[in-house]
Structure 1
Amino acid sequence: MRTHTGEKPYKCDQCDYSAARKDSLDHHVAKHTGDKPYMCGECGYRAVLKSDLVKHMRTHTSDKPFKCDQCDFSAAQKSNLKQHLSKHTGDKPYMCDECGYMADRKSTISRHMRTHTGEKPYKCDQCDYSAAQKCSLNQHLAQHTGDKPFMCGECGYRTAWKTHLSTHMRTHTGDKPYKCDQCDYSAAEKTNLSNHMRTHTGEKPYKCVQCGYSASRKYSLVLHLAKHTGDKPYMCGECGYRTTRKSDLSKHMRTHAGDKPYKCDQCDYSAAHKNSLNQHLAKHTGEKPYMCGECGYRTVRKFDFSQHVRIHTGEKPYKCDQCDYSAAHKSTLNRHLAMHTGDKPYMCGECGYRTTKKCNLSQHMRTHTGEKPYKCDQCDYSAAVKFALNNHFKTHR
């Protein structure tokens, strides 16, 4: 009844906090005392509430006692099952008055409202950091304490976040519990499913405040904003290459190390990047799932198809912010921008050769390694660059 009356009879004697339930007060008081009496014997995790320890132990046992009666989904926590059930019913009773956003949980709509109000109620007691969500504050606090209480029993991975451990465990189990109801896509993480759903809806909720750009993913907007600020925080210690993305730096470092972790299971081909391996595998299967309705062009990659379509539409979405030049492809714009800046970020560690294009550096490196990855399937000819192989094919016609 207290959910209707708003009554909160349990008062904290150290601050003005009050709660509708005694266990909520006990949980709060632990913030003052630091007391966490319940400890996991597997990894040393400690909790204020016994129920939290019981939930934590399921990360070690993989116990999922909460079963869906409409499909084979099961969950370690009751709240996760409730959230799953809304996928069957479609029920989203909580709606935002500002933008019409709907949610299946009251806590979700409360968090969403802070995007409108800018409220950040969770304060760090060691610095001036504040957050809109409690989980963000918990992650921040780990920077002060270095505490990573959640540990994987399979490989020793540790994290400050329980949700991160749950996600990590799926790398061992292969579990992809988040299913798309419009196609056969499934994901290990809820955020990946949310991003995928926008491929069906076309929704682009992340807006740039400096231009008309919008994106379906927050990360894409962050990358876009770097074009306005020029910020490239990740730098290669070998050649000075800088980038906006940590993942791009990791890929770049393979040009120095010669690391090619992605192996073909049908031949001796290996690649530095996963997408290069995926493209290579299509040579074995012959599969080209993306087809142009205008001219019948087919391709292995969705990205190549998107670029091809612009030949028919004449679309040139990549705009230069220093002149009126525009391009159909991002790489073309990047080459153009180098005319303004004179920037050649890609450098060879062997001889100091510099270039504006990453692909040029990759080709150049083969002059040092002698690598010839492009193989003719009709004779023993091989080439260092793709166009040389294309020219060679003409000798067989």
Structure 2
Amino acid sequence: METHTGDKQYKCAECNFTTVRKEALKDHLTRHTGEKLFRCETCGFRSAYKQSLSQHMIRHTGDKPHKCDQCEYSATTKYCLKRHTVKHTGEKPYMCRECGFRLAYRSNLSKHMRTHTGEKPYKCTECDFKTSLKDSLRRHTARHTGEKPYMCDKCGYRTAHKSSLSYHMTRHTGEKPYKCDQCDFKTNTRDGLRRHKARHIGKKPYMCGQCGYRAAEKNILSKHIKTHDTGEKRYKCALCEYSSAYNRNLVSHMAKHTSEKPYMCGECGYRTAIKYNLAKHMRTHTGEKPYKYSLCDYSSTRKGKLDIHMTNHTGEKPYMCDECGFKTADKHYLTVHMRTHTGEKPYNCSFCEYSSVFKQSLVRHITNHTGETPFLCEECGFGTASTSSLVRHIRKHTGEKPFKCDQCDFTAVDTRSLKRHKVKHSINKCM
């Protein structure tokens, strides 16, 4: 009856919070005290709320009692199931007044609106970091505290983020619960499905307020906006003067100081300092190309290559050189291009005075000193110093020619062959 009368007799002495339930007030008070009374006996996870502990325990039991009556999906909570059923109804009652973008959830509309307003209400108390998303702030603060309360009970992996643990567990189970309703695509993350659908329908709800550039994904827009920035690079190396706008670049850089490469390929002995690089490398052995474009037959081992390929259809080239007007679809290509103006050759050989504009050129050069050819073809034993050379070689066995001319039926095993072919069309036009 209290829900009808609106009588909230339980009041917090620290703030204006009121509630109809005594238990709710008890849970609320822990926000002021910071006390976490409820503890998981399996992994040590602690929470201020009993309900949070109950939801956490399901991760150990694997129990998903809430099942969808239209597909095989099952969830740990009623809330997750409710959000899932919207996929079947297609209902999107919340619309952005700025761009017409529609969403199924009101909370997501609030987040979307910040892409227009630029509002960043969530602020770190330890540094100047600001963000538009509460989850982003929580992930950021974990860098200050170092706390990693979420642990995998199969391999001991620990993380500061609940979502990261969920993603990690799919590596053990092989589960890909998120399925595209328009094709056979499956993925183990909700964001992966969202990005796939954005490419599938060509929708680009995120717009740059400075130049009008539009993107299908928020993180792509964030990268683009940094091309307008003043060059702020807040991730700084403690051992040298290197700095970067991206944390992942700093992580890669630090490996150069330690020379530690803990991740090794069991097939060929390739080693790397970055776990993600090993995952990319393994695709040279498996042939897996998980990044597919819905408008043609193109597929790639890397998301970055797919993004670049998509510009062949759209013609977009958002990165421009201020010196000569050169435009490109890939930020990395712009960085490399700028070296033609500066004369910079950052990749230096430790055996001789050779230096190069390109990292891959240095890798190939060093094999002249070491003679190392770690990448081997299983068909004929051919050895090479680079994965790209091995991929091109394997196509001689498979007959695959993925690069197609847009002016005739010619196909090629690599981009260089395709470029040489296209020169013929240019010559014929001139004649």
TM-score band, normalised by the shorter chain? 0.7 to 0.9
- The CA deviation at 1:58 is 0.9
- Which amino acid in structure 2 is aligned with residue 106 of structure 1? R
- The CA deviation at 1:73 is 1.1
Which residue of 2 is the match for residue 159 of structure 1?
159
**Any residues of structure 2 matched to 1:238-317 within 5 Å, and which?**
261-262=264-265, 275=280, 278=283, 303=305
In structure 2, distance between residues paired with 1:110 and 1:315: 29
In structure 1, distance between residues paired with 2:314 and 2:146: 53
- The CA deviation at 1:356 is 0.8
- The CA deviation at 1:366 is 1.0
1:32 aligns with 2:32: yes
Change in Cα spacing, 1:235 to 1:141, as seen in structure 2 (3 Å) is closer
Residue deviations 1:243-276 (CA, integer Å, cap 9, x gap): 665556777869x778884465xxx596875556
1:13 aligns with 2:3: no
Q: Say if 2:65 and 2:76, in contact at 8 Å, map to a contact too.
A: yes
- Which amino acid in structure 1 is aligned with residue 369 of structure 2? H
- Which amino acid in structure 2 is aligned with residue 202 of structure 1? G
- The CA deviation at 1:382 is 6.1
Q: Say if 2:317 and 2:328, in contact at 8 Å, map to a contact too.
A: yes
- Aligned with 1:175: secondary structure? coil
In structure 2, distance between residues paired with 1:156 and 1:356: 41
Change in Cα spacing, 1:174 to 1:225, as seen in structure 2 (3 Å) is same
- Aligned with 1:324: secondary structure? coil
Which residue of 1 is the match for residue 77 of structure 2?
77
- The CA deviation at 1:314 is 9.1
- The CA deviation at 1:195 is 1.2
- Which amino acid in structure 1 is aligned with residue 87 of structure 2? K
Which residue of 2 is the match for residue 88 of structure 1?
88
Which residue of 2 is the match for residue 322 of structure 1?
323
- Aligned with 1:164: secondary structure? helix
- Which amino acid in structure 1 is aligned with residue 102 of structure 2? M
* TM-score normalised by length of structure 2: 0.68
1:336 aligns with 2:337: yes
Q: Say if 2:66 and 2:77, in contact at 8 Å, map to a contact too.
A: yes
Which residue of 1 is the match for residue 357 of structure 2?
356
In structure 2, distance between residues paired with 1:237 and 1:123: 24
Change in Cα spacing, 1:328 to 1:93, as seen in structure 2 (3 Å) is closer
Structure 1 residue runs of 5 or longer lacking an equivalent are none
Q: Say if 2:94 and 2:103, in contact at 8 Å, map to a contact too.
A: yes
- Aligned with 1:340: secondary structure? helix
Residue deviations 1:164-192 (CA, integer Å, cap 9, x gap): 22222222222221111111112211111
**Any residues of structure 2 matched to 1:366-385 within 5 Å, and which?**
366-372=367-373
Residue deviations 1:124-175 (CA, integer Å, cap 9, x gap): 6667766544434433444454433222212222233322222222222222
Which 10-residue stretch deviates more, 334-343 or 212-221? Answer: 212-221
In structure 2, distance between residues paired with 1:201 and 1:177: 21
Change in Cα spacing, 1:371 to 1:11, as seen in structure 2 (3 Å) is same
Change in Cα spacing, 1:12 to 1:67, as seen in structure 2 (3 Å) is same
Which residue of 2 is the match for residue 176 of structure 1?
176
In structure 1, distance between residues paired with 2:11 and 2:245: 48
Structure 2 residue runs of 5 or longer lacking an equivalent are 397-431
Which residue of 2 is the match for residue 190 of structure 1?
190
Q: Say if 2:270 and 2:374, in contact at 8 Å, map to a contact too.
A: no
Which 10-residue stretch deviates more, 329-338 or 359-368? Answer: 329-338
- The CA deviation at 1:331 is 6.8
Residue deviations 1:304-346 (CA, integer Å, cap 9, x gap): 9966996x99987753221133468777655432121222122
**Any residues of structure 2 matched to 1:95-174 within 5 Å, and which?**
95-116=95-116, 132-174=132-174
Which residue of 1 is the match for residue 199 of structure 2?
199
In structure 1, distance between residues paired with 2:38 and 2:247: 38
Which residue of 2 is the match for residue 64 of structure 1?
64
- Aligned with 1:35: secondary structure? coil
- Which amino acid in structure 1 is aligned with residue 170 of structure 2? R
Q: CA RMSD in A?
A: 4.7
- The CA deviation at 1:13 is 1.8
Change in Cα spacing, 1:145 to 1:236, as seen in structure 2 (3 Å) is closer
In structure 2, distance between residues paired with 1:201 and 1:66: 31
The aligned length equals 378
- The CA deviation at 1:359 is 2.2
In structure 2, distance between residues paired with 1:10 and 1:248: 50
Which 10-residue stretch deviates more, 62-71 or 120-129? Answer: 120-129
In structure 2, distance between residues paired with 1:259 and 1:357: 25
- The CA deviation at 1:104 is 2.9
In structure 2, distance between residues paired with 1:317 and 1:161: 33
In structure 2, distance between residues paired with 1:308 and 1:93: 30
